[in-house]
Amino acid sequence: MKRLADLNDTVETWRGLERRSNEASELAALAAAEGDESLIADLERDVAALVSELDGLELGLSFSGPYDARDAILAIHAGAGGTESQDWAEMLLRMYLRWAERRGYETQVLDMTSGEEAGLKSVTVEVRGKLAYGYMKSERGVHRLVRLSPFDSDHARHTSFALVEVMPEAESAAEVTLDPDDLRIDTFRASGHGGQNVQKNSTAIRITHIPTGIAVVCQNERSQSRNKESALRVLEARLLEVEVKRQADERAKIKGEHVDAGWGNQIRSYVLHPYKLVKDHRTDFEVSSAEAVLDGDLDPFIDAYLKSTMGSGGS
């Protein structure tokens, strides 16, 4: 029903544009025949509005992937570098939460592991909203930060890395089959900042998928059952991503291509010193307003990436 509603909205949008373009065409013929200045002014306004709306809808053509319309699971992992990278991971989390808020998306932190001194070792967030995965898939990869360290007494310049993963949320059991015999479920006490136990009861859940070795931990909820439910959603998304990657690898082999998705492929650099610049290395799109980007102004980067992949079948 959700898919049907989305398709109906899309069809109605394009039919509405068709009606308005036909009306503009009739108005143009009338204005040309009568030479009426007011009709010409109305026509110019209508055409400008149509062009603006079409420019916005052009981006929608990039959402042709089978999972683009889905909710997304976002995971951020601090790279090597201790506190510096952990603080960077927390900055990225804030950036994405601000971006999601701007778009009207709902977010829920499913699991969070704090750093020893500051920042985050890792965090997993569910992002719910129309085309959440379609937009967020552009953020997968390594993000690099260059700045003067607030944790260094000498205020030396440091480079930090964090890995961002984005997975489509599984929508049905048919997509991902979880055999209970393949799961090892462990319970333990939820941990707070610095690793101390914050609950007396064992409410935190770790689920390990034995065939793949994928392990998921959820401890943010006070209820063991809710943590288990969240952990299963993340596990299903990770297994779906494994299957998507397997299919993509098979297609790449057929094409004779192979793209390494390892840590060496940083997708974007955020430079705060000695100058301010955010540059996407895939599209060469860049801006000097680094603070605005870190405050959630990501749409220009996402739009540039999606437009660069239109027609390439990238997902």
Residue 194 is part of a domain; what is its CATH number? Answer: 3.30.160.20
Average pLDDT of 19-35? Answer: 84
Whether 128 and 165 share a structural domain: yes
Is 92 part of a structural domain of the chain? yes
Whether 86 and 220 share a structural domain: no
Residue, of 264 and 296, whose pLDDT is higher: 296
Which range is most confident: 12-16, 87-91, 156-160, 166-170? 87-91
Distance CA 275, CA 272 (A): 6
Whether 271 and 155 share a structural domain: yes
Q: What is the CATH number of the domain that holds 118?
A: 3.30.70.1660
Spatial CA neighbour of 144 closest among 297, 307, 309, 280: 280
Is 46 part of a structural domain of the chain? yes
Spatial CA neighbour of 238 closest among 201, 270, 195, 207: 207
Whether 83 and 151 share a structural domain: yes
**How many Cβ atoms from other residues are within 10 Å of residue 172's Cβ?**
7
Is 314 part of a structural domain of the chain? no
Whether 9 and 153 share a structural domain: no
Reported as a pLDDT band with limits 50, 70 and 90, residue 251 is: low
Q: Is the dihedral of CA 11, 17, 20, 22 positive or negative?
A: negative
Spatial CA neighbour of 214 closest among 140, 124, 94: 124
| pLDDT number for residue 44 | 86
Q: Rounded to two decimals, what is the model's pTM? A: 0.74
Whether 44 and 191 share a structural domain: no
Beta partners for residue 120, in sequence order: 114
Is 228 part of a structural domain of the chain? yes
Is 147 part of a structural domain of the chain? yes
**Over 50: is that where the pLDDT of 308 sits?**
yes
| pLDDT number for residue 30 | 82
- Please say which residue of 227, 255, 283 terminates a domain: 255
| pLDDT number for residue 198 | 46
Average pLDDT of 169-194? Answer: 77
**Over 90: is that where the pLDDT of 99 sits?**
yes
| pLDDT number for residue 252 | 63
**How many Cβ atoms from other residues are within 10 Å of residue 302's Cβ?**
19
Whether 102 and 165 share a structural domain: yes
Range of the domain at 214: 180-255
Is 16 part of a structural domain of the chain? yes
Peptide bond into 274 cis (omega under 30): yes
**Over 70: is that where the pLDDT of 162 sits?**
yes
Q: How far, in Å, are 31, 138, 150, 158, 285 from residue 274 at the CA level?
A: 57, 27, 15, 11, 20
- Please say which residue of 15, 43, 62 terminates a domain: 62
Spatial CA neighbour of 9 closest among 63, 87, 79, 51: 63
Is 262 part of a structural domain of the chain? no
Whether 156 and 296 share a structural domain: yes
Whether 80 and 149 share a structural domain: yes
Kindly calculate the radius of gyration of the chain based on its CA atoms and give it in whole angstroms: 24
What tokens were used for 90? 């927390």
Mean pLDDT of the chain: 85
Which 3-state string (H, E, C) describes 242-263?
Answer: HHHHHHHHHHHHHHCCCCCCCC
Is 126 part of a structural domain of the chain? yes
Residue, of 292 and 8, whose pLDDT is higher: 292
Whether 150 and 184 share a structural domain: no
Reported as a pLDDT band with limits 50, 70 and 90, residue 311 is: low
Provide the CA 15 distance to its chain's centre, in angstroms. 30
Distance CA 308, CA 267 (A): 14
Q: How far, in Å, are 98, 122, 218, 237, 238 from residue 214 at the CA level?
A: 29, 15, 14, 11, 8
- Please say which residue of 42, 62, 82 terminates a domain: 62
Whether 79 and 120 share a structural domain: yes
Whether 291 and 233 share a structural domain: no
Distance CA 292, CA 288 (A): 9
Element (H, E) at 235: helix 224-255
Number of domains present in the structure of the chain:
3
Which of the residue ranges 154-163, 195-204, 231-240 would you say has the lowest mean pLDDT?
195-204
Spatial CA neighbour of 297 closest among 263, 267, 270, 266: 270
> Is residue 121 within 8 Å of residue 93, measured between CB atoms?
no
DSSP 167-227: EEPP--TTTS---GGGEEEEEE--B-GGG-B--SS--EEEEEETTTTEEEEE-SSSSHHHH
